[in-house]
Amino acid sequence: MKKRFLFVCLLFLSSLAITAQRGIKMAYIDMDYILKNVPEYQEASQQLEARVQKWRSEIQKKMQNVEDMKQDLSNERALLTKELIEEREEEIAYEEQAILEYQEEKFGPQGAFIVQKRQLVQPVQDQIFNAVQEIGEKRQYDFIFENSADALLLFSAKRHDISDQVLNIIQRSSRKLDLEDRRKQKEEEENSKIEEPYKSVEQAAEDKEEAAERDAIRQAKEDEREQMLNERQQRRDSIRAARQKEFEERRAKLLEARERRRDSLEKLRNQKNNTTPPGR
């Protein structure tokens, strides 16, 4: 962060001499303010937050289950043999490892949270960048900062805040795209109503044959793509099925070992009750 601060200072000082005659023109944007006022971003953020809460709830349940297993082992350790204790500890270690893998899958550097958040923010960041470029070139700004800790913008007058201008450009672009889509749709509807010009029998036959060839080529490409997607899906399903089978086998072994431990524990308890001398 210090290096970034020094770089910004050097950039500022080097530009000061060049722009001294006409004065330096600067502005900044408030990224949080812009994101809060983009409905698509807010809706996607809420969906992502719901997924995050679900993942955290699942992790919490798994961790509580492990804690219960540890407490049960602590309470029953005196009644268990060394082999049974080792089996219980192995099962606990397996469950703890499964939790770590799940946390890495959801919240790791390449996890679902980071990936989905990047997919969520990137389109909005692109719109903001384009809007900033447009404003900077049109109004001849020398510097436009982002008002955040990374930019080390410790003070700025409100008159330099161009966040609303950036937001207006984004909203205007969105409305423009909507209008363009509606215009194209209207043109397509109008074109579909226009009657085709008269064609001779020969020309109509040729056009029909060309259309059939285009349809055949397009269908062949679609079939090829569909086959490729099916093959990919089959490979994924095969890998997933193999992993699921391995998991089920390990789970079955753990359940079987747990059942044996319960039987052994019950036998030990019965033996202890049978060897206890009757009360006077």
Q: Assess whether pLDDT exceeds 90 at residue 197.
A: no
The pLDDT-based confidence of 53 (bands split at 50, 70, 90) is very high
CA separation for the pair 262, 76 (Å, rounded): 11
By CB neighbour count within 10 A (0-12 exposed, 13-18 middle, 19+ buried), where does 220 fall?
Answer: exposed
pLDDT of the residue at 209: 78
229-274 confidence digits (pLDDT tens): 677 667 766 776 776 677 677 777 777 877 777 777 777 777 766 7
pLDDT of the residue at 123: 84
Whether the pTM exceeds 0.85: the reply is no
Cα distances (angstroms) measured from residue 12 to each of 21, 26, 41, 87, 152: 15, 11, 33, 66, 13
Residue linked to tokens 């259309």: 211
CA separation for the pair 72, 66 (Å, rounded): 10
Rounded mean pLDDT of the chain? Answer: 76
CB 268 within 8 A of CB 79: yes
Q: Assess whether pLDDT exceeds 90 at residue 23.
A: no
Checking phi first, is residue 195 left (phi over 0); if not, alpha (psi -120 to 50) or beta? beta
CA separation for the pair 96, 65 (Å, rounded): 10
Out of 52-56, 198-202, 265-269, the most confident range is 52-56
pLDDT of the residue at 240: 64
The pLDDT-based confidence of 17 (bands split at 50, 70, 90) is very low
pLDDT of the residue at 71: 93
For 107-135, letters b (16+ CB in 10 Å) and e give eeeebeeeebeeebbeebeebbeebbeeb
CA separation for the pair 179, 185 (Å, rounded): 10
User: β-pairing, 26-29 with 143-146?
Assistant: parallel
Instruction: Give the count of alpha carbons within 13 A of 12, CB side only.
Output: 14
